[in-house]
Structures are given as structure tokens and as C-alpha cells.
């Protein structure tokens, strides 16, 4: 009888220890090392835009916030100057249950931009060049797909996606009906892509 009781106690302790170890392993597996990521996008520099991204990783995905500042002085026939700011937010849903070195993802995004554009005003009555400033308010919604790499404290992100964009303008402009998808005045479906590098901490 005592032997059975002793075996039962030992078995209970073994099961309890195994359960505790399993729970601890699950807790450790759900721990994300360096969940904060700070990235920049170098290709936006060619458009006169400085964009930096803060990303917070979770077990199933990440939340992304990307503020930007635009300062651009163009030397074209319109002598355009563009300046303003923007905010792009999105959520990445990882196809894997928790972050790995290579993570495929898909998720929605939303953006807003406020851009002031100084342009040459078409005038047939004056011999002097006249300029006007139009304010573009741009709204966008869509879906991004991509792959995120995490190698220790180095992280890289490649994305492709697209969605709809709507722009409304304060002021008068002749280029509204002739705009293409990379112009501020464009309204419609737009593609987009990005390549960014950063650090994890």
C-alpha cells in the first residue's frame, strides 16, 4: 500500500515537473527578443522625402508607423517646389505563428499626406512669371505583402502592394485631369513598393 502511495506521489511530482517545464518552454518560445525595430527607406530620398519607420513586433505580426517629411526643389519648366508631411500606418500579419529570421506577411495600410506645391501659373497677360501654391491632401488605403528579415539586430523589409488613393486640392490647377499615378493630384488605384533597412532593439 505504501509502495503504491509512494509511486503515486512520485508520478504526480514527475507530471507536475513536466508540466512546469512545458509551460516554461512555451513562455520562452513566445518571448520576442528585440521587439522594437527602427528602419529607414533610402529610395524615398530621390523623391525629396525623408521617411523613418517604427515597428513593434508581436507573436502574430507587427504594428508599423511611418512619419515622413518632404522637401523638394525641382528645376523643371514649372520651377516646382514641394514641401509637406505624411503619416503611413499599417499592420503586418505573419504567416508564421511567431517571428523567425524570414517572415512572409500581408496586411492593410492607411496613409495621409499634406503637400504644398509651388508651381508656375499659366498667364498670357503678364510678361513676368507668376507662381501659385496648391495644397494637396492625399488619403490612401490598401494592402501590402512582403518579406521581413531579422538577423540579430539587423532587419530588412521588402514589400509590394497597392490600393486606392484620393486627393483633393485647395487652389486651381491645370494638371488635374492629366495626372499620372505618381503625381500628387492622382485619384484612383496605385501600386507601391518599398525597401527598408534598420536595427532591432
188-200 and 154-170 as β-strands: parallel, antiparallel, unpaired?
antiparallel
Residue from 137, 134, 196 nearest 165 by CA? 137
Question: Are 16 and 42 in a shared domain?
Answer: no
The CATH code of the domain that includes 187 is 2.40.160
Short-list 117, 113, 110, 111, CA closest to 170 = 117
pLDDT at position 13, please? 41
d(CA 137, CA 108): 20
According to the model, what pLDDT value does residue 104 have?
95
61 and 16 in a single domain? The answer is no
95 shares its domain with 26: no
CA pair distance 67, 88, nearest whole angstrom: 6
Q: Which domain holds residue 108?
A: 34-200
Q: In this structure, are 57 and 87 located in the same domain?
A: yes
Do 27 and 38 sit in the same domain of this protein?
no
Q: How many domains does the chain have?
A: 2
Are 73 and 116 in the same domain?
yes
123 and 162 co-located in one domain: yes
Q: How many CB atoms lie within 10 A of CB 99?
A: 22
Residues 40 and 16 in one domain: no
User: Domain check: are 39 and 105 in the same one?
Assistant: yes
The reported pLDDT for the residue numbered 9 is 47
Per-residue pLDDT of the chain (201 residues; tens, 9 = 90+): 544 454 454 445 444 444 444 444 344 445 688 999 999 999 898 888 999 999 999 988 999 999 999 998 876 555 678 899 999 999 999 998 778 899 999 999 999 999 998 877 766 555 666 777 889 999 999 999 999 999 999 999 999 999 999 988 876 544 544 567 677 778 899 999 999 999 999
Do both 7 and 76 map to the same domain? no
Whether residues 24 and 69 fall in one domain = no
Q: In sequence order, what E strands does 44-100 have? A: 49-57, 61-73, 81-94
Do 104 and 148 sit in the same domain of this protein? yes
Amino acid at each position: 500500500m505504501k509502495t503504491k502511495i509512494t509511486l503515486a506521489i512520485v508520478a504526480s511530482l514527475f507530471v507536475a515537473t513536466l508540466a512546469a517545464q512545458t509551460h516554461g518552454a512555451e513562455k520562452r518560445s513566445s518571448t520576442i527578443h528585440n521587439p522594437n525595430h527602427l528602419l529607414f527607406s533610402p529610395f524615398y530620398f530621390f523623391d525629396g522625402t525623408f521617411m523613418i519607420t517604427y515597428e513593434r513586433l508581436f507573436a502574430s505580426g507587427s504594428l508599423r508607423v511611418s512619419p515622413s517629411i518632404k522637401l523638394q526643389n525641382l528645376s523643371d519648366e514649372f520651377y516646382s517646389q514641394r514641401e509637406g508631411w505624411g503619416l503611413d500606418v499599417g499592420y503586418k500579419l505573419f504567416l508564421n505563428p511567431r517571428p523567425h529570421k524570414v517572415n512572409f506577411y500581408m496586411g492593410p495600410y492607411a496613409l495621409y499626406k499634406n503637400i504644398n506645391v509651388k508651381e508656375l501659373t499659366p498667364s498670357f497677360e503678364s510678361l513676368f512669371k507668376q507662381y501659385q501654391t496648391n495644397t494637396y491632401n492625399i488619403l490612401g488605403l490598401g494592402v501590402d505583402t512582403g518579406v521581413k528579415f531579422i538577423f540579430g539586430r539587423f532587419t530588412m523589409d521588402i514589400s509590394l502592394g497597392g490600393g486606392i488613393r484620393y486627393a483633393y486640392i485647395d487652389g486651381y490647377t491645370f494638371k488635374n485631369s492629366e495626372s499620372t499615378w505618381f503625381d500628387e493630384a492622382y485619384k484612383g488605384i496605385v501600386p507601391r513598393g518599398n525597401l527598408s533597412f534598420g536595427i532591432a532593439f
